A and B are shown apart, each in its own frame.
Chain A
Amino acid sequence: SQTIHQWPATLVQPVGSPLSLECTVEGTSNPNLYWYRQAAGRGLQLLFYSVGIGQISSEVPQNLSASRPQDRQFILSSKKLLLSDSGFYLCAWSSGEGPYNEQFFGPGTRLTVL
Chain B
Amino acid sequence: KQEVTQIPAALSVPEGENLVLNCSFTDSAIYNLQWFRQDPGKGLTSLLLIQSSQREQTSGRLNASLDKSSGRSTLYIAASQPGDSATYLCAVISNSGYALNFGKGTSLLVTP
Contacts and interface: CB of A to CB of B under 8 A. Distances in A.
Contacts, number: 57
Contacts of B104: 42-43
Interface residues of B, number: 24
B49 interface: yes
A102 B100 CA distance: 10
A104 B99 contact: no
A32 B98 CA distance: 9
11 contacts: A34-B98, A44-B100, A49-B98, A99-B31, A99-B93, A99-B96, A99-B98, A100-B93, A105-B36, A105-B45, A108-B43
Given A43-B103, A43-B104, A104 B97 contact: no
Determine chain B's interface SS by DSSP, over half rule. strand
Nearest to A34: B98
A100 B99 contact: no
Interface of A: 6, 32, 34, 36, 42-46, 49, 51, 57, 59, 90, 92, 98-100, 102-108, 110
Contact of A102 (B34, B41, B43): B34
B98 A90 contact: no
Contacts of B36: 105
A88 B31 CA distance: 27
A90 B44 contact: yes
A13 to B, nearest CB: 18
A100 B31 contact: yes
A103 B100 contact: yes
Contacts of B28: none
B61 interface: no
Contacts of A51: 98
Interface string B5-43: 000000000000000000000000001101010000111
